[in-house]
Amino acid sequence: AVVTGASSGIGYAFAEELASRGLDLVVTARRLDRLEDLAARLTRRHGVTVTPHQSDLADPAAPPRLLEFTGGMDVGLVISNAGFGLRRGPHETHNAATLTALLMLNCNAPSALAHGFIPRLRARGTGGIIFTSSVEGAIGGPYSAAYSASKAMVTALGEALWGELAETDIDVLTLCPGKTVSEAAIKQGFDASTLDDAMTAREVARLALEHIKDGPTYISSEHYATMIGQLSALPRGQALLASAAAMKKHMAARDAGRS
């Protein structure tokens, strides 16, 4: 299996889960030291081969390099997990270059990796792809505009490929987590001590693997599945205003905690 974004969070948890099930791994992320520590620990604990590959998938040249790196390997499962979000705030307040990097990592990388790995999986005759999206991709996210838009693209990509590959033995699942206790959540401005409805990354990864045949999409949190259902039942404008009000409340509490 290939796992992108494996140095922390859900990607790290996917690597742990897959190694515990006996799969050899290629793990990739920007932080090589973390990948090497992960590889050593998983190899020692589970006796699998874990190969680190340093890569910044926001660079458009990185997906082809990863495809070349894995060219001689029997890859049966691709976990396209790498991505990042931004601290909640008005769209225009974010750095333009950072927004571009977000779109390249969150959108271009999954598309490019799917484009490269699908022919190999077809030739292999069986396999799977899991895309890590988010519940934020279900509707435009006020004060999280670029991130929610990027995850909407990931969800649409995964659903479309599920349809294209439905008559093959290649499983496609788009994982849509809610709040997850992770480094990424903290960087986005969430206080880990107040994430009442959060799941652990390991739980999210485990559930995704257990539900890989239940595509096209899978919301790992019952709480957020209910919430998305409720929002979807509202007129679109009303749902967006409700989301904006909730996010304003979150940002006010966050900023008050800093003062």
Strands 25-29 and 50-54, by their bridges, are parallel
What does DSSP assign to residue 107? I
CB 73 within 8 A of CB 114: no
Q: Is the peptide bond before 235 cis (omega within 30 degrees of 0)?
A: no
- Region 74-78: mean pLDDT is 98
Q: Give residue-wise pLDDT tens across range 34-61.
A: 999 999 999 999 999 999 999 999 999 9
**Distance of alpha carbon 197 from alpha carbon 224, whole angstroms:** 8
**Distance of alpha carbon 35 from alpha carbon 26, whole angstroms:** 10
Residue 237: exposure state from Cβ atoms within 10 A (0-12, 13-18, ≥19): exposed
Closest C-alpha to 142, from 236, 257, 253, 10:
236
Q: Is 147 tagged catalytic?
A: yes
Q: Does pTM top 0.85 for this prediction?
A: yes
Instruction: Determine how many CB atoms are found less than 10 A away from the CB of residue 186.
Output: 12
Q: Please identify which of the residues 143, 147, 218, 224 carries the catalytic annotation.
A: 147
Residue 5: exposure state from Cβ atoms within 10 A (0-12, 13-18, ≥19): buried
Could you tell me the pLDDT band of residue 257, with boundaries at 50, 70 and 90? confident
Map residue 217 onto helix, strand or coil.
strand
Taking 70 as the threshold, does the pLDDT of residue 259 lie above it?
Answer: no
C-alpha pair distances (Å), 124 with each of 79, 113, 127, 140, 148: 17, 16, 8, 38, 34
Taking 60 as the threshold, does the pLDDT of residue 245 lie above it?
Answer: yes
- Region 161-184: mean pLDDT is 92
C-alpha pair distances (Å), 254 with each of 196, 218, 227, 243, 245: 15, 29, 22, 16, 14
DSSP H or E stretch at residue 255 = helix 236-258
In 25-177 the beta strands, taken as DSSP E runs, fall at: 25-29, 50-54, 77-80, 127-132, 170-176
CA dihedral (85, 31, 107, 51) in degrees, to 10, reads -140
The mean-pLDDT minimum among 85-89, 128-132, 252-256 falls in 252-256
What does DSSP assign to residue 126? -
pLDDT of residue 31: 97
